[in-house]
Amino acid sequence: MALQTQQIHGGGTRFRRTPLGVVANLLGWALLIVAVLLVLTPVAFMFVASFMPARDILKMPFSWWPDPIIFENFWHAIRGNDGRFIFPRALLNSVFVSGTIAATTVLFSTMAGYGLTKLRFRGAGIVFLFILSTLMIPFETVMIPLYVVITNLGMQNSYAGLIVPFLLSAFGVFLMRQSLLSFPDELLDAARIDGASEPGIFFRVVVPNLWPVMAVLAILTFESQWDNLIWPLLVVQSSELRTMPLYVVTFMEEKSTNEGAMVAVAAISSIPMLIIFFTLSQYFIRGANVFSAGKE
Amino acid sequence: MSRRRLTVLSFALLMSFSIALAQVQVEYWTHEDPNRTALEEELIAQFHAEHPDIIVTRVTHPSNTLAQLILTAFAASRGPDIFNMETFNEYPYIVNQRVVPVDPVAAGFGSYDAFYAAYLDGMLDPVTVGGVPYGIPLELTNWAIFLNMNVFRDAGLDPLTDYPKTWEEMMEIADQLTVRDGEIITRRGFDFRYPYYLNFMVPMAQQLGGQLIGDDGESAIVGDEAWLRVLAYFREWGPHGRNLGGPTYANARALFNFDNDDIGMMESGQYQIARIANDNPGFLPGEGWMVVPFPVWEDAVEDLAGAYYGHYWMVNAQSSADEQEAAWKFIGYMTEFAEEFFARAGLLQASQAVLDSDTFRNHPYSDVFMADLARAPAIYYGDASPQIKQVLQDAVEAVMLQNREPAEVLVTMREGVERALRGEY
Amino acid sequence: MARNSARLTVGTRRALWGWAFVVPALAFFGLFAFYPIVNAFVLSLHRKNVLSLQPPRFVGFQNYVDLWNSAQFWNSWKATGIFTVSTAVPLVLVSLLLATLIVSRLRLQRFFQMALYTPAVIPGVVAAAIWLMLLDPRGIANQWVNFVLGVSGVDHKWLASPDMVRLSTVLVYFWGKLGFFTIIFIAGLGGIPTSVKEAARVDGATGAQLYRYITLPLLKPTTLLVSIMAMIFCMRTFSTQYLFTQSGAPREPINVVTLGIYTTAIRDYQIGLASAMSIVLLVVMFVLAFLQFRVSRTQDG
């Protein structure tokens, strides 16, 4: 499962040979360009508006070149309405929570995948089915009882409460199991003959060879947690524990928030993922590919 | 310095010499209000200096989400020691025994009789259940109409004489003040304070003889004609009628302070005055803005103003006895500064002493608010008040945004309120 | 244990290690997936006020009966249904179209993929917040639509009128997920062997025929996967609707089931009823996924 950048040609169909084909081709270009422009408009709006005085943002017509260009919105956003700098804290909380969850998901999923495929034991099939069946359970249907579980464990309003319910995902186990099925047994046997223990083999043979898939899983997990609103909404009450999505929702509700500060908060909140995306776009695209490949 | 405060002080001194200096931590959750935050943080520091054994942690949340946060915390038995909310959100906590009765001794009043005597008549009714009080007033608020005089002048009106006295006039004048680009509103003449329907919509129906809950306590939305008029008014107000505003527009009260020529009038309480001064020091009472009474229908059968409501400090029943005592002590301490609360945050703790003070009498438009308060009905509160508020919201959205017939909406609204009263979904 | 392990066979030892590797996952799914479901079911048979300290009162299937009789709950399903159909279907079709257009071009493939995927990395709450400004009566949505229609000053009531507010939630969601599904389709198209197409081309098939009779059938597994995923994603939508209603949009047209569960528990205090709603949602999603699976099997067979 090595990583490669693929340039796909001919997957679709080229319509070039007839005059009709030329028109279709031009139409295709036009459509793509319009689609990209429309899709990028909200993003562009967000960044342009964050440099505008609040009262200009909803002025008609919208001016794509801010005049004057100001930076106050960013300062307001970072300070917060109460000057307590909760927003940077919320961003760090999100990084911490999503990062921890991504790490544990990758570790435990790979472990489970390894145990299920390479350390054959009786009942492995049933265990896999059990885990697979939880893949079908949408979070929204268990959130209320999960809330009861978490409060009974005394984890409400704590980092533990934010992290623990997501330590592991059924999708992760599924993905790692599928990838490990095609993992060459010879590598493992060679290590065993050298006298390596199972944990040793896992960390020295499996992990180094599987890291591209693990990276994909880590990114997908991080991304989905970075976006999680409904659970923090239930489980967090202290302002210090707010994650970024919860902060955004709260900030929108506050009286002293104006449009300028709001777009600035939105822009700053988007930047971390955008940076990760532009530097690691291969993994994102691969991440999506996993879904189409998982079917084979 | 009052005598009560002196005794408290000497008591504190004594305490600090006592051997057991175990510290008590008290958590206090409240809604966001920049002016009050500054004042209360100072008071917390002073209080701590006088009571080194008590540590108060203050946490603020936006008013709209505070109710949800307190609920989830209480559901998990992790509620704060002290909190405050609007009357209609707090009542279920009393009924479900999640809060304790006021400790008049710890709070510095001495007895229930002295406690009741310190406040305006009826002010403690919404928190009195079974003859026992469960909360101490943080604020008593009624809404009047704030008016931007510049917007009036710009439309060729004289704010001192042409302000709306009736709801009929309100619609006409708002229309005159509204500026549109085609259908798109760029300046609203007036807009309501969505979604606080219990505060302004219920009194509008009451003025016409309607009732939210009937005298039997089971029937709801009594007086078809009154409620139909109110619903029709909201439909007329919205984008399917004369297009004067609606709940999807930016909060009128938040825009008002900045005098950006985008809102002519809005409804708010006395605390708004301190916030205007804070947000926009150049926007002055009597020059830039003024306050006029809550309008009444032309053919009203009852002369009523906007509903008055309270915020009450309450104490968690699951906190330890020490924490509860410390909590009441702290709350009692804050009541000693009622005048500062009014002067700096515009919050009226509704004690007789504040009303008699010069600070109150010399405050801009206190007379307007007091005259309105005298004719203000109490806001509805009960076990199901949050749900009932939601039913009213759904009804207004139905006529205003979905363009439904008021007659049809009236039926579902009545069913909804009656179901909520019965505790059904 | 150490003494014993020396006597264990290689196979047994490996199996024990297997269990050891799997136990964290099993414990986790047991506690945080299965137990809550059982708990939800038990809770759904009780009446319980979140605020009350009284123990839950057993009411049998009364909560389910109440839901069946509740116009509001049916309306929630209507809202979820409308949202799911009107989002998932265009999502699948448009992402297939865009993927086809992208792979048939030699130039700028990477650029198009990345540009279309960008919204997917914008957090959902941020997206909703930005869209609320775009859809404001004075916002870009009205300005651009009016420009295209050649009119001025028309307010399309994006957040106010019931149909438009539905459309607006669809737009926000569609915008956020389009790139993700497009990329899956691109991968699917890339997986189709070129030899098959070359053979057909030699047989004189035109471009359109090739697409209709070769590409689409071979793409079926991807299409099926994307449809199931789109459907499941859409049925679980929450943050857009939550933020829209918080910002004054009418609740009824977009009161999706997940929002209903949240408000029933948090605003109405009825945690038993909310649990019953969760169980119903779970069953419906199981049934739908099963049906889609069956349909795909019979078609393949």
List domains and CATH numbers for chain C. 2-44 (no CATH), 71-300 (1.10.3720.10)
- B184 contacts A151? CB cut-off 8 A: no
Q: Do B175 and B251 reside in the same domain of the chain?
A: yes
In sign, the C-alpha dihedral spanning B216, B219, B223, B226 is positive
Closest CA–CA distance from residue C121 to any residue of chain A (Å): 6
Q: Which chains touch B (3 or more CB pairs under 8 A)?
A: A, C
Q: Do B119 and B222 reside in the same domain of the chain?
A: no
Backbone angles phi and psi of B29, in degrees to 5 = -105, 135
Range ranked top by mean pLDDT from B261-265, C1-5, C270-274:
B261-265
**Amino acid letter at B119?**
Y
Q: Which chains touch A (3 or more CB pairs under 8 A)?
A: B, C
Q: Do B289 and B399 reside in the same domain of the chain?
A: yes
Residue range A261-293, pLDDT digits in tens? 999 999 999 999 999 999 988 888 877 777 765
In a domain, B356, yes or no: no
Backbone angles phi and psi of B311, in degrees to 5 = -115, 130
- Residue B221 gets the label, from left (phi > 0), alpha (psi -120 to 50) or beta, of left
Whole-angstrom Cα distance, residue B297 to residue B167?
5
C125, C268, C290: best to mutate for the A interface, most A CBs within 10 A? C125
**B64, B75, B183 member nearest C51 (Cβ):** B75
Give the per-residue pLDDT at C165.
95
A114, A141, A228, A243: best to mutate for the C interface, most C CBs within 10 A? A141
Q: Do B271 and B405 reside in the same domain of the chain?
A: yes
In a domain, B67, yes or no: yes
For residue C301, what pLDDT band results from cuts at 50, 70 and 90? Answer: very low
- B64 contacts C162? CB cut-off 8 A: no
Contact between residue A1 and residue A181 where contact means Cβ atoms under 8 Å apart: no
Q: Identify which has the larger pLDDT, A73 or A254.
A: A73
- The mean per-residue pLDDT over the stretch B179-198 comes to 94
Which residue in the block uniquely carries the two structure tokens 């493992």?
A: A188
- C153 contacts B182? CB cut-off 8 A: yes
Would an 8 Å CB–CB cutoff place B183 in contact with chain A? no
Half-sphere exposure of B184 (CA within 13 A, CB side): 23
- A147 contacts B59? CB cut-off 8 A: no
Domain segments of chain A: what residues? Answer: 19-79, 86-257
Tokens, residue C33:
């997936």
Give the per-residue pLDDT at B94.
94
Whole-angstrom Cα distance, residue C157 to residue C249?
10
**pLDDT beyond 60 at A3:** no
Q: Do B135 and B71 reside in the same domain of the chain?
A: yes
**A58, A134, A288 member nearest C33 (Cβ):** A134
Average pLDDT score, chain B? 91
Q: Which CATH number applies to A86-257?
A: 1.10.3720.10
Query: Which residues make Cβ contacts (< 8 Å) with residue C294, sequence separation at least 6?
Result: none
Q: What is the ipTM of this complex?
A: 0.86
Q: Do B79 and B171 reside in the same domain of the chain?
A: no
Domain stops at, among B326, B348, B370: B348
Q: Do B158 and B269 reside in the same domain of the chain?
A: yes
Measuring CA to CA, which residue among B230, B228, B220 is closest to residue B416? B220
Q: Do B120 and B193 reside in the same domain of the chain?
A: no
In a domain, B368, yes or no: no
Contacts of B248 in chain C (CB under 8 A): 137, 159-160, 247-249
For residue C37, what pLDDT band results from cuts at 50, 70 and 90? Answer: confident
In a domain, B366, yes or no: no
Contact between residue B362 and residue B342 where contact means Cβ atoms under 8 Å apart: no
Contacts of C285 in chain A (CB under 8 A): 136, 138, 141
Secondary structure class of B6 (helix, strand, coil): helix
Domain count, chain B: 2
In chain A, the percentage of residues whose pLDDT exceeds 70 is 92
In a domain, B360, yes or no: no
Q: Identify which has the larger pLDDT, A255 or B236.
A: B236
Query: How far from the centroid of its chain's Cα atoms is residue C226's Cα?
Result: 10
Whole-angstrom Cα distance, residue A255 to residue B193?
13
**Amino acid letter at B400?**
M
Secondary structure class of B293 (helix, strand, coil): coil
In a domain, B357, yes or no: no
Whole-angstrom Cα distance, residue A232 to residue A237?
9
The most distant pair of C-alpha atoms in chain A lies apart, rounded to whole Å, by 74
In a domain, B354, yes or no: no
Query: Which residues make Cβ contacts (< 8 Å) with residue A78, sequence separation at least 6?
Result: A85, A87, A88, A268
What's B265's domain CATH number? 3.40.190.10
Give the per-residue pLDDT at B5.
63
- C33 contacts A137? CB cut-off 8 A: yes
In a domain, B363, yes or no: no
Q: Do B251 and B394 reside in the same domain of the chain?
A: yes
Which residue in the block uniquely carries the two structure tokens 């990477």?
A: C110
Which residue in the block uniquely carries the two structure tokens 């005592």?
A: B325
Per-residue buried b or exposed e for C210-248, using 16+ beta carbons within 10 Å of the residue's own CB: bbeebbeebbeebbbbbbbbbbbbbbbbbbbbbbbbbbb
Q: Do B17 and B131 reside in the same domain of the chain?
A: yes
For B184, the closest chain C residue by CA position comes to: C155
Contact between residue C274 and residue C41 where contact means Cβ atoms under 8 Å apart: no
Q: Do B39 and B69 reside in the same domain of the chain?
A: yes
Give the per-residue pLDDT at C151.
92
**A151, A233, A254 member nearest B32 (Cβ):** A254
Q: Do B175 and B55 reside in the same domain of the chain?
A: no
Backbone angles phi and psi of C135, in degrees to 5 = -90, 0
Closest CA–CA distance from residue A120 to any residue of chain C (Å): 6
Give the least confident one: A145-154, B395-404, C35-44. Answer: A145-154
Contact between residue B60 and residue B32 where contact means Cβ atoms under 8 Å apart: yes
Whole-model pTM?
A: 0.87
Residue A279, burial from CB neighbour count under 10 angstroms (0-12, 13-18, 19+): exposed
Residue range A228-264, pLDDT digits in tens? 988 998 888 888 899 999 999 989 888 778 889 999 9
Range of the domain at B245: 144-306+380-422
**pLDDT beyond 60 at B15:** no
For C273, the closest chain A residue by CA position comes to: A144
Give the least confident one: B134-148, B179-193, C28-42. Answer: C28-42
Closest CA–CA distance from residue C247 to any residue of chain B (Å): 6
Our CA angle for A196, A100, A161, nearest 5°, is 125
